[in-house]
Amino acid sequence: MSVLELRDLNVTYRTEGGDVPAVRGVNLTLEIGETVGLAGESGCGKSTIAAAVLRLLPKGTKVTGEVLLDGEDVYAMRPGRLRAVRWTSAAIVFQGALHSLNPVRRVGQQIEEAIRLHAGERAETRAVELLERVGLPAARAQHYPHQLSGGQRQRVLIALALACEPKLLIADEPTTALDVMVQAQVLALLEELQRDRGLSLLFITHDLSVLTHTCEKLAVMYAGRIVEQGPSKAVFERPDHPYTRALAASFPTIGDPASRMNPRGLAGDPPDPSALPSGCPFQIRCDVAIPECTTLDVALRDAVSVKGLADRRAACVHVGVARV
């Protein structure tokens, strides 16, 4: 059974200015011990998915489709069951470590609290063990968040997320605010946890190059949809969707003469989710758009028709043939 399965997930925020569809028909599966990366620009819906998995969306947000954690629909759970599932089945590490921790409580206490609420026993010892597990000395348990550096706080958040030994860890831009060296430390830690404990990891970031090095599979989102997915190295090196191609090209390869003095990016901005154009939402920024793209919104389909290689899919008129 899959650890996480999203079936035709749609999330629509209700705002004063009208409905904003943030996630539109996303299907995604995460097997035990698997790492999947979710990439895309600001506003593409990737963080909305993180919040949707544990029902952390603002009140009144419209959610359709299914979110299955270990085969159980999160949106059909009773409040008590939901509270148990959060932390023990799945936990989230957010980007802003400073804002996720309580500033007036010692970090050790904050981890203990999570353990007491869910697992109960030996909370104090377990909290120290967890801190050591993420590379922080036991003495740090006595510190307040402001006494720790950005990298240390991020480690505390990871320790906190691991408090109840979840099977699934959702990491939403866990390294974005960190220096390169500290980022490397945190990424190495996540890889180690995933390897040693068979943790499944859903890794969300706009940094495609980080995902390629951390995740086996990659899903690229644009305007609320997955527009390309497949094995991460293959997707990064030989993208099928023009959006992925532009995104991948914007990460220069140091030492590569082609990117020397030649920064590349993607002109324009993503479309406003409350006013999506008809046809393919990427057409305005696409360098290979054809007249059909203004009317035709292609669904995700097999990118490679050769047998055995059908693990790559993309949502583009130029790609493969429609799956029957």
Task: Candidates 183, 194, 232, 283: give the one binding another protein (CB under 8 A).
Answer: 183
Which sign, positive or negative, has the C-alpha torsion 50, 53, 58, 62? Answer: positive
Q: How many Å apart are CA 90 and CA 84, to the nearest integer?
A: 10
8 A C-beta contact, residue 10 and residue 23: yes
Residue 35 CB, nearest approach to another protein (Å): 15
Q: Based on CB atoms, which residue is closest to another protein, 262 or 295? A: 262
**116 or 206: CB nearest another protein:** 206
Interacting residue with another protein among 134, 199, 208, 218 (CB under 8 A): 208
Residues in 37-56 that interact with another protein by CB under 8 A? 41-42
3-state helix, strand and coil shares in percent for the chain, rounded to the nearest 5: 35, 20, 40
210 binds another protein (CB under 8 A): yes
Residues 59-88 that bind another protein (CB under 8 A): none
Q: How far apart are the first and last CA of the chain?
A: 25
CA 225 to chain centre: 13
**Angle (CA) 218 219 221, round 5°:** 145
Contacting another protein (CB under 8 A), which of 16, 59, 137, 261?
A: 261
Among 222, 195, 224, residue whose Cα is nearest residue 208: 222
Question: Residues in the chain, how many?
Answer: 324
Q: At 16, phi and psi to the nearest 5?
A: -60, -35
Q: Which stretch binds another protein (CB under 8 A): 94-102, 176-184, 223-231, 286-294?
A: 176-184
Stretch that binds another protein, among 21-29, 75-83, 208-216, 288-296 (CB under 8 A): 208-216
CB of 279 to another protein, least distance (A): 20
**Out of 253, 292, 296, 309, which residue is the one contacting another protein (CB under 8 A)?**
253
d(CA 39, CA 54): 19
**206 near another protein, judged by CB under 8 A:** yes
**Residue 265 in the binding site for another protein (CB under 8 A):** yes
Q: Answer yes or no whether residue 132 interacts with another protein by CB under 8 A.
A: no
When asked if residue 15 is in the footprint of another protein (CB under 8 A), the reply is no
Rounded CA separation 233/235 (Å): 5
Distance of CA 229 to the CA centre of its chain: 13
Query: Which residues of the shown chain bind another protein in the complex (CB under 8 A)?
Result: 41-42, 149-152, 179-185, 188, 206-210, 212-213, 246-247, 249-255, 259-267, 269
